[in-house]
Structure 1
Amino acid sequence: MPKVGMEPVRRKALTDAALRAIGQHGSLAVTMSEIARQAGVSPALAHHYFGSKEQLLVETIRELLRSLRRDAIEALGSAPTQRARLSAVIAVSFDTAQFAPETVAAWLAFYGEAQRSEETRRLLVVYARRLRSNLLSALKTLCPIDDAARIAEGTAAMIDGLYIRQSLQSAPISSKASVALVENHLDAQLKEFGA
């Protein structure tokens, strides 16, 4: 019988363990038992909280998205200018926690799963729309809307592309270097608008 009040703690431990296990495997080919063992709970308790591995994986993606959203809201709230807001979005994307090897591997595994799972695809579309919206919100004050949309798409694609390259681990790039590459891209795109 689960202890009263432990559910949120154990659910979080299980999503954290799922992220680690997926990152270590480099795929979603992990079992509920492996995840439960990493979380320090029994497989039965993991099934009690989530019902199935698929439900646990969906909750793990949701937890990643919630974490990214919290970090973005905090960073955007302290940005004094629209250009600083763009830098905040970029910095959050490559924050140490978001750009950790296990997290990057998990994101890539989730993208692969999105080809088969409508729920996973839906959640990743939410991420893509949120990233584009955050970029576009600042960009449209710095340049015409058509240019803002083009620059937002290019910047988002560059962020996602750097994640893919990081997941390959053949030539890992640091978080700081990734930020610098995207910032350089933005500076080049915004130069003609004097921003």
Structure 2
Amino acid sequence: MRSRSIRTIRRAELSMAAFEAVVLYGLRGTTLEKVGEIAGVSKGVVLHHFKDKGSLLEAVIRRTNGMLSTSLVELYRHAETPYERLWAVIIANFHESIFNQAVCQAWVSLMAEVPHNRESQRVQTANYARVASNFAHELKHFVPREEARTIARHLNLLIDGIWVRVGSRVEPLDGAQSIGDLEYELMKFLPTDEKSLAKHKAAREKMENVARIALGTRAFLENSISR
């Protein structure tokens, strides 16, 4: 049990090192040697845990998706209403710990590899489905279930588009701007009476404050990296 635990920790560390390498050198410039240098181990150690660059990149994609899931779980712990849970899903996608130009640029590089790696395709398809499901689950409190699924797909596509724009250096958006863009689209589909808008505003402010505190702590970041 202990050896498997150590192996899991080592693979997580190497996945994070690989992600850092993609941020620093781009996908083409990322090699097993550079991953080893960042992790402080030899190329042989990297190969011991990942048979080739393809399997390492697959693990990186899993890790980046896992960071989003971990952030959302943390925000959910503090969300008490459907409004707050909906805004938790939105804010988790754009918190500065995972949404910045360097990370978005690395993500775009990784997504370019997905069509050439069947396992990465499976992982990313599952991630898209999970994000859409999270949205649909909360949106059903505001609109009929079928409409909720349609809106969820629309928001999922919009999130991807924002990440691509930032990662491609087409537009220097920050998290607050991106959340605002998503809010603009979201409010086209949901009730916008004065009472509903006030609840959305309060929920967004609360979850942004929670994210600022809970997702920015050293303990959370270290726990997220070690998983």
**Structure 2 counterpart of 1:168:** 168
> Deviation of residue 113 (structure 1)?
1.1
Find the residue that maps to 1:115 and give its secondary structure: helix
C-alpha RMSD over aligned residues: 2.2
Asked if 1:66 corresponds to 2:62, the answer is: no
The 5 Å alignment of 1:172-191 reads 172-191=172-191
Tell me, yes or no, if the aligned pair for 2:151 and 2:189 is still in contact at 8 Å: yes
Q: TM-score, normalised by structure 2?
A: 0.77
> Deviation of residue 159 (structure 1)?
0.8
> Deviation of residue 85 (structure 1)?
1.2
**Structure 1 counterpart of 2:116:** 116
Tell me, yes or no, if the aligned pair for 1:50 and 1:56 is still in contact at 8 Å: yes
Specify the code of the residue in structure 1 equivalent to 2:14: L
**Structure 1 counterpart of 2:141:** 141
Q: TM-score, normalised by structure 1?
A: 0.89
**Structure 1 counterpart of 2:96:** 96
Tell me, yes or no, if the aligned pair for 1:21 and 1:34 is still in contact at 8 Å: yes
In the aligned structure 1, how far is the partner of 2:154 from the partner of 2:131?
A: 12
> Deviation of residue 5 (structure 1)?
7.5
Tell me, yes or no, if the aligned pair for 2:33 and 2:43 is still in contact at 8 Å: yes
Tell me, yes or no, if the aligned pair for 1:87 and 1:183 is still in contact at 8 Å: no
Specify the code of the residue in structure 2 equivalent to 1:166: V
**Structure 2 counterpart of 1:126:** 126
Structure 2 residues without counterparts, runs of 5 or longer: 197-227
In the aligned structure 1, how far is the partner of 2:154 from the partner of 2:28?
A: 29
Asked if 1:40 corresponds to 2:40, the answer is: yes
Specify the code of the residue in structure 2 equivalent to 1:15: S
Alignment identity in percent?
Answer: 27
Tell me, yes or no, if the aligned pair for 2:143 and 2:190 is still in contact at 8 Å: yes
Specify the code of the residue in structure 1 equivalent to 2:27: S
Aligned length: 193
> Deviation of residue 27 (structure 1)?
2.4
**Structure 2 counterpart of 1:19:** 19
Tell me, yes or no, if the aligned pair for 2:101 and 2:172 is still in contact at 8 Å: no
Tell me, yes or no, if the aligned pair for 1:20 and 1:102 is still in contact at 8 Å: no
**Structure 2 counterpart of 1:107:** 107
Tell me, yes or no, if the aligned pair for 2:14 and 2:35 is still in contact at 8 Å: yes
In the aligned structure 2, how far is the partner of 1:140 from the partner of 1:5?
A: 39
Tell me, yes or no, if the aligned pair for 1:19 and 1:102 is still in contact at 8 Å: no
Stretch of structure 1 that moved more, 154-163 or 26-35: 26-35
In the aligned structure 1, how far is the partner of 2:175 from the partner of 2:192?
A: 27
Find the residue that maps to 2:83 and give its secondary structure: helix
Tell me, yes or no, if the aligned pair for 2:103 and 2:167 is still in contact at 8 Å: no
Find the residue that maps to 1:170 and give its secondary structure: coil
Alpha-carbon displacement from aligned partner over 1:95-142 (angstroms, at most 9, x marks no partner): 112213332122212221111111111111011000000000011121
Alpha-carbon displacement from aligned partner over 1:29-81 (angstroms, at most 9, x marks no partner): 42101111111111111111222222211111112222221211221232122
Determine which structure has greater relative contact order: mean sequence separation of CA pairs < 8 Å that are 6+ residues apart, divided by chain length.
Answer: 2
